[in-house]
Structure 1
Amino acid sequence: MDLFFREAADRIGFEDVLSKIDALMNWRTFSSILTRGLGRSGVGPQGYDPLVLFKCLLIGQWHGLSGPKLERALKVRLDFMLFCGLDLHASVPDETTHCRFRNALVKGGVYDDLLSEVCRQIEEHGLKMKEAEAAIIDATLIESAARPRSHIEPPQDRAEGDAPDDPELHFSADPDARWVKKGSKSTLGYKGFARTDEDGFVDKVHTTPANRAESPEFATMIDGASAQRVLADKAYASRANRAALKGKHRDGIMRKAARGRPLRASEKRFNRLISKQRFRVEQCFGTMKRLFGLHRARYVGRAKTHAQLAMAAIGQNLLKAANKITLTRQTQAIA
C-alpha cells in the first residue's frame, strides 16, 4: 500500500461502507466473469482493468451517478479512488468508457452471474445461509425510462395471463415496456422479480414487461432454490404453482378465497404466519428503490433494466453484509 492509499484509508476510517465491502470481497474471482462478458481475446492493446470498471459501475449504481458525474466524482472523492484503486496519478475512465463497459456486460449477459458470485462469497463469510429455511418471492413495478407518447387504458395488474399485445400499449421509445394499472395508478415499464432468503439477501432476479402476470413466472423464480419452503403472496396461488413445489419445497403460497368459498379460519392463520416472513422481500424492494434508484429504469430496454435490477440487488446484498462486519486496522491491512 503506497503513501496515498494509506493516508486516504486513515482519513476515511474503518466504518466507511466502501472500505468494508472492499475488504469483504475477493475481487479477483470476478475477473473470469467480466472477461467472458466483455468477450475479450486478451490479444492487442489492453484498456482499463475490468475490475476497476466494475467497481466504478457499482459506485455509479449506489450513488445514482450519470456517466459524466461518475467521471467527475472519481477525480475528487477519496473514498471512490481508494475503493477503485485509482491513485492521484492514474488516469480516470471517462463517461464513454463506463457506457461501453456497461453495455458490453449487458450484451454478454453476465449480470446474473455477478450476483451469484456476490452471494457465494457472502455465504463463505457466514453472513448468508447457504441453505436457508425459506425462499421469498415477489415482484415490483419499475417505471420505464421512456415517456409514453399516448394515453391508453392499461390492463389491471395481477390479472391471470398476459394482457393483449396491442401496439398502443407500448407506443413509446421503449419497445419492451408495457402498460399496467395497479389500483388507480397506470405505469409504463417492467416487473422486477426477486427471490430472497429470510434475512433479506437477494439471490435471484428476473425482469418482464409490466403487463405480464406474476403467477406464470413462479417456475422461473423457484429454479435453483435450495430453501426448504417457498413463500409467496396470493398472486402466485394456482394449482400449477403448488404442483411445481411438490417433492422439492414446502408450500408457503398464501391461500386465496374463491367465489362461493371464503377462507377458513386455519387458512387465515396460515396467511398471517406467511405475512410475518414475507415482508423481507418488500424491505429489499424498498432499499433498492430508495437507495439504488430502482423506482425508475435508467436506460431503455428489458435487458438494460434487468442489468439495473441485478446491480441494485448486488448493492443491497453488499450493504447488508457490510452492516454485519466491523473493520480494524489489521483486517484493512490484510485486504
Structure 2
Amino acid sequence: MKQPGFFDVEERLARLSGLGDQLEAFSRTVDFEVFRPDLEKALAYSDGSKGGRPPFDPVLMFKILVIQTLNNLSDERTEYLINDRLSFMRFLGLGLSDRVPDAKTIWLFRERLTQAGAIERLFERFDATLRSAGYLPMSGQILDATLVAAPKQRNTNAEKADLRAGRIPEDWQDKPSKLSHKDRHARWTLKFTKAKQQDDGTMPSRDLAIPFFGYKSHVSIDRKFRFIRKWKTTDAAASDGARLREGLLDKTNT
C-alpha cells in the first residue's frame, strides 16, 4: 500500500466526478444561496448577542436535508455518512477538519422548518430552479416515504391526550423552556420489518411490528434525472396515500 499523498483527496474527488457524482450535478445546477432569505426568515435565529455556540449555516443545513431525502437516511446515518463520504463533504463545502452537525442538530433544524411551514415552500422553489435550468420532469416519478426518528417524549397520559387533541398541556403553557424542548408534532406508528431466521433454521410466520416515534418524509423524485421535485413532512402515523391527494404526485410527469 502506497503512502498517503497530499493530492490523494483531490484525485479521489476527480474520480468521483468521472463516475458521475449526482451531488456535483446539484451544485452546478442550483444556486443554493437563493434559499438563504427564506431559511433565515423561517428559522429566526438570534443575533448571537447572548453568546453560546453559533448555529450552523442554514444553507449548509438545507443541503444536508437534500442529501438525507435523496438517500432515505435517518438523522444518525446522515451524520455518519457526512463524516465518511468525500462526495457529501464536497457538496456541503466541508473539509476533513471541519465540524459536522450531529443527528440532534439535523433533527432540530428540520423541526424548526416544519413548525414554520417552510419545507414545502423551499422545495417548490427548488423544483422551479431545476425546471428553469432545463431539467424538466417528463419520464415518470418515484414516490417514497421514509420514517425519521424523533427523541421519545416522557409525557403523562393527560399530556398525551391533550397533544392528540391538538392542545398544549396546561402545565406547559407557563413554562416556555419546557415547551421549547417538547415535540408536539411527532407521533407513534408501527414499523414493519421482515422477521429473521430462528436459530433452528425456521422462519417466523409473521413479520415484526416495531413501535416507532417520529415523522415521515414523503418525496417525489423524477426518474430521468433523479432529482427531488416535491417533499412533504408529516407525523409518522400519517397515511402515504393521502399525500398523493395533497399535491405530492406531479400529474404532468407520467
For normalisation by structure 2, the TM-score amounts to 0.53
AA matched with 1:96? K
Q: Deviations over 1:205-237 (max 9, x none)?
A: 6979868997xx96x659xxxx9xx78xxxxxx
* SS at 1:128 equivalent: coil
Question: CA distance change for structure 1 residues 28 and 8 in 2, over 3 Å: closer, same or farther?
Answer: farther
Match of 1:12 in 2: 16
* Alpha-carbon distance in 1 for matches of 2:218, 2:9: 39
1:52 deviates by 1.2
* Alpha-carbon distance in 1 for matches of 2:221, 2:88: 29
Quick check: 1:206–1:221 contact (8 Å CA) kept in 2? Answer: no
* Alpha-carbon distance in 1 for matches of 2:107, 2:219: 26
Identity of aligned residues (%): 24
* Alpha-carbon distance in 1 for matches of 2:218, 2:75: 27
Match of 1:36 in 2: 41
**Which of the pair has the greater relative contact order for Cα pairs under 8 Å at 6+ separation?**
1
* Alpha-carbon distance in 2 for matches of 1:92, 1:18: 18
1:61 deviates by 2.2
* SS at 1:13 equivalent: helix
AA matched with 2:24? S
Quick check: 2:119–2:231 contact (8 Å CA) kept in 1? Answer: no
> Does 2:67 align with 1:59?
yes
Question: CA distance change for structure 1 residues 192 and 91 in 2, over 3 Å: closer, same or farther?
Answer: closer
* Alpha-carbon distance in 1 for matches of 2:27, 2:104: 25
Decide which of 105, 128, 135 is 2:136's aligned counterpart: 128
Match of 1:185 in 2: none
* SS at 1:88 equivalent: coil
Match of 1:94 in 2: 102
AA matched with 1:110? A
* Alpha-carbon distance in 1 for matches of 2:12, 2:232: 36
Quick check: 2:30–2:129 contact (8 Å CA) kept in 1? Answer: yes
1:126 deviates by 2.2
Quick check: 1:195–1:221 contact (8 Å CA) kept in 2? Answer: no
Question: CA distance change for structure 1 residues 9 and 42 in 2, over 3 Å: closer, same or farther?
Answer: farther
> Does 2:31 align with 1:23?
no
1:112 deviates by 1.0
* SS at 2:125 equivalent: helix
| Structure index of larger Rg | 1
How many residues align? The count is: 186
AA matched with 2:74? S
Give me the CA root mean square deviation. Answer: 4.8
Structure 1 stretches lacking a partner, 5+ long: 147-172, 178-189, 232-276, 281-335
Question: CA distance change for structure 1 residues 88 and 113 in 2, over 3 Å: closer, same or farther?
Answer: same
Match of 1:76 in 2: 84
Question: CA distance change for structure 1 residues 115 and 11 in 2, over 3 Å: closer, same or farther?
Answer: same
Match of 2:193 in 1: none
* Alpha-carbon distance in 1 for matches of 2:148, 2:84: 32
> Does 2:111 align with 1:106?
no
Quick check: 1:5–1:82 contact (8 Å CA) kept in 2? Answer: no
Question: CA distance change for structure 1 residues 13 and 117 in 2, over 3 Å: closer, same or farther?
Answer: same
> Does 2:151 align with 1:118?
no
